[in-house]
Structure 1
Amino acid sequence: MGVIFSPEADNLTTMAGPRGEYSKSVERRAEILEAAFTTFAKSGYTASSVNEIARSVGMTQTGVVHHFAGKLALLQAVLEQRDTRAELLLDGRRGRDFLASLVEISRTQESLRGVVQLYTILSAEATDPDHPAHDYFVARFERIAAAVTLAFEEVGAADGLRDGVDPRRAALLTLATTEGLELLWLNSLEVDMAEDIRRLINSLLIEPI
């Protein structure tokens, strides 16, 4: 995963002090991040949401963004936590099991509307090569595409793909469909993200998941 902001960059002063102070700062960051994830999942990103995060951890808004070197770093940290939670569902899974887990990940997004909205807005802005989050999203898409490609390759090695299905193209199609369905869902179109992803994946496999 690409990293733009060094987690330690805003803690240099603390690191120079006693180990106890550094440990306290790390714990504080974790507390802020958990509060941010919960708040963004519920409300999305607004100016008031940062104030809500600050209140929930007993800090000022300035204190919150100080721990993450600015608002953009906080947003990225929340998105990275979203990816980490999704990857827990994929841990140790290969081939068909990996692809089935993608369906479950899409299902979990239904309870994280604010975070999905945050991701969609920031990823669109980051298509600008000069955007500070550009490299992060490029690396993220490449990493996900590679992992899904490998899963399709593993299914193909077991003769589980339909004729003419190329694992790389299948992975990109799956990723593009997931991104598109999230955008339609955010705009209140009647889609079932999990089941629509399942249908797409099944259209590429001999035996459905």
Structure 2
Amino acid sequence: MAGPRGEYRKTAERRTQILDAALEVFSKNGYSASSVNEIARVVGITQTGVLHHFAGGKMALLRAVLERRDAAAQGMLEGKHGRDFLKAMVEISRTQRGQRGVVQLYTILAAEATDPDHPAHEYFTQRFAVIADAVTVAYEQVRADGGLREGVDPRRAAISSLASIEGLQLLWLDGLDVDIAEDSARTISGFLTDPL
């Protein structure tokens, strides 16, 4: 029994190493200019070794890197509603400070994926729609509790909040003196009767 568990653990560790390398390579070069061969070199294995763990090649690696990032964020939002959901969004922004490579990769890919032919186009289109809907619901819940400023439309507040967070990430990557979390909290608080 110990043998398979050991093998499974080694496989899981190798997959993690490959995903870490994919993140590094994609963050540095963007998706289009990266190759599975380069990711394999970073890990110290062959391209065939990478494909053994990620049979779908570069696209499978990209999807796995993005899903790993999203899973962490979803964990922070799980079970949260209204103001608590909005606060959790700010906390997600706070975690970005220690994840420059992930933020850079996400920003590059989000820009590349505006091309309808990009392999991540559908992923980002769906992702933005799901997030915008979830943030809209949070603002609607805040409104139901009497916490939304008079005249604020929940959907417009959601779109403005997302645009602010995305823009702040880009400015931070470009070296401007911004605090993604605190500046995001200020934007969100502007829609609320009581600041976060």
Residue 116 of structure 1 pairs with residue 82 of structure 2: no
> Are 2:62 and 1:75 aligned?
yes
Q: State the TM-score, normalizing by the size of structure 2.
A: 0.83
CA distance, structure 1, for counterparts of residue 40 and residue 145 of structure 2: 53
> Structure 2 counterpart of 1:181, which letter?
L
**Aligned 1:26-65 pairs, distance under 5 A:** 28=11, 30-39=12-21, 44-46=27-29, 50-51=39-40, 53-55=42-44, 59-65=45-51
Report the equivalent of 2:149: 162
TM-score by length of 1: 0.78
The number of aligned residues is: 184
Q: Judging changes above 3 Å, is the alpha-carbon distance between structure 1 residues 33 and 114 closer, same or farther for their aligned structure 2 residues? A: farther
Contact kept in structure 2, 1:160 and 1:206, CA below 8 Å: yes
- 1:147 — aligned with what? 134
Identity between Structure 1 and Structure 2 (%) = 55
Unmatched tracts of structure 1, length 5 or more: 1-20
Whole-angstrom distance in 1 between the partners of 2:167 and 2:122:
21
Query: Structure 1 residue 32: deviation in Å?
Result: 4.3
Match status 1:90 vs 2:77 = yes
Secondary structure of 2:16's match? helix
Aligned residues of 1:65 and 1:74 also touching (Cα < 8 A): no
Structure 1 residue 60: Cα displacement? 2.1
Structure 2: stretches of 5+ with no match in the other structure: none
Closer, same or farther in 2 for the Cα pair 1:156/1:33, shift >3 Å?
A: farther
Give 1:72 deviation, angstroms: 2.9
Structure 1 position 75, deviation (Å)? 1.9
Change (3 A) 1:53 1:34: farther
Where does residue 138 of structure 1 map in the other structure? 125
Distance 2:183 2:24 in 1: 24
Q: Give a deviation string over 1:86-133, Cα, whole Å, max 9, x none.
A: 111111110000000011000101111111111111111111111111
Q: CA 1:174/1:65 → structure 2, altered by over 3 Å: closer, same or farther?
A: farther
Structure 1 counterpart of 2:155, which letter? R
| Equivalent in the alignment of 1:179 | 166
**Residue pair 2:15, 2:53 contacting (<8 A) in 1 also:** no
Q: Is the Cα contact below 8 Å between 1:42 and 1:112 reproduced in 2?
A: no
**Mapped partners of 1:174, 1:165: distance in 2:** 12
CA distance in 2, matches of 1:186, 1:78: 19
Counterpart code for 2:46: T
Asked if the contact 1:95–1:151 (Cα under 8 Å) also holds between the matched residues in 2, the reply is yes
The one of the two structures with greater contact order (alpha-carbon pairs below 8 A, sep at least 6) is: 1
Shift, 1:174, TM fit = 0.8
- Partners of 1:190 and 1:62 in 2: how far apart? 43
Equivalent position amino acid for 2:154 in 1? P
**Distance (Å, rounded) in 1 between the aligned partners of 2:143 and 2:104:** 34
* 1:9 alignment counterpart: none
Q: Residues of 1 paired with 2:98 and 2:28: CA distance? A: 16
Give 3-state SS (helix, strand or coil) of 1:181's partner: helix
1:99 pairs with 2:79: no
